[in-house]
Amino acid sequence: MGILQGKVAFITGVARGQGRSHAVRLAREGADIIGVDLCTDYDTVPYPMAGEDDLKETVAAVEALDRRIVSARLDVRGRAALTGFVTDAVTQLGRLDIVVANAGISPLKNATADEDIDATWQDVIQTNLTGVFNTVQASLPSLIAGGRGGSIVITSSTAGLVGLSLDTVGGYAYTASKHGVVGLMRGFARDLAQHSIRVNTVHPTGVATPMIMNPAMEEFIGSRPETMNTLVNLLPVPMVEPEDISNAVLWLASDQARYVTGVTLPVDAGFTIK
The CA distance from 135 to 36, in Å, is: 10
- Considering the candidates 42, 172, 174, 259, report the single residue annotated as catalytic: 174
Residue 47 known to be catalytic: no
CB 166 within 8 A of CB 120: no
Question: What are the DSSP calls for the chain, one per residue?
Answer: --TTTT-EEEEES-SSHHHHHHHHHHHHTT-EEEEEE--S--TT-SSPPP-HHHHHHHHHHHHTTT--EEEEE--TT-HHHHHHHHHHHHHHHS---EEEE-----------TT--HHHHHHHHIIIIIIHHHHHHHHHHHHHHHHTS-EEEEEE--GGGTS-----SHHHHHHHHHHHHHHHHHHHHHHHHGGGTEEEEEEEESSBSSTTTSSHHHHHHHHT-HHHHGGG--SSS-S-B-HHHHHHHHHHHHSGGGTT--S-EEEESTTGGG-
Could you give the residue numbers annotated as active site? 174
